[in-house]
Amino acid sequence: MAVKDFRDLLIWQKAMELAEGIYRLCQGLPSNEAFGLVSQLRRAAVSIASNIAEGHARQSQREFNRFLLIARGSLAELQTQLFLVERLGYGDGGEVRDILSHAEELGKMIRGMQKTLGSTSPTLDSRLSTPGS
């Protein structure tokens, strides 16, 4: 079965879970960070899932790969901000480490998708479908 909607993409689902985790983490950060670190964390997290969705919607392998590159950039930005949260001693350290682990896993998945897009499969949908689905 071909992937017809970005919501069917596992990388988009994982990106949404990551964004949810960031929003939960931000609830526990100091209120004086509302317009600084909290805003940056939320924007970067939302950008990852948004770029995956937009790239898929373009229905072009080249465009999808370009948007995956942007998503990877946002992911690196998010990870940097999480390292800062950790260094400042904000939030729950275990929660931050869990989110960082999730982010690392998502990064691997995005890179895997980019490799898939670089293969010789004939269409975008066939490259995105899960084997056996």
Q: Which residues of 93-127 are buried (b: 16+ CB within 10 A; e: fewer)?
A: eeebeebbebbeebbeebeebeeebeeeeeebeeb
Domain ranges of the chain: 6-128
How much is the pTM? 0.85
pLDDT band at 131 (very low <50, low <70, confident <90, very high): very low
Q: Which CATH architecture has domain 6-128?
A: Up-down Bundle (1.20)
Task: Return d(Cα 125, Cα 127) in angstroms, integer.
Answer: 5
Tens-place pLDDT, residues 87-128: 999 988 899 999 999 999 999 999 999 999 885 443 455 455
Tens-place pLDDT, residues 36-76: 999 999 999 999 999 999 999 998 999 999 999 999 999 99
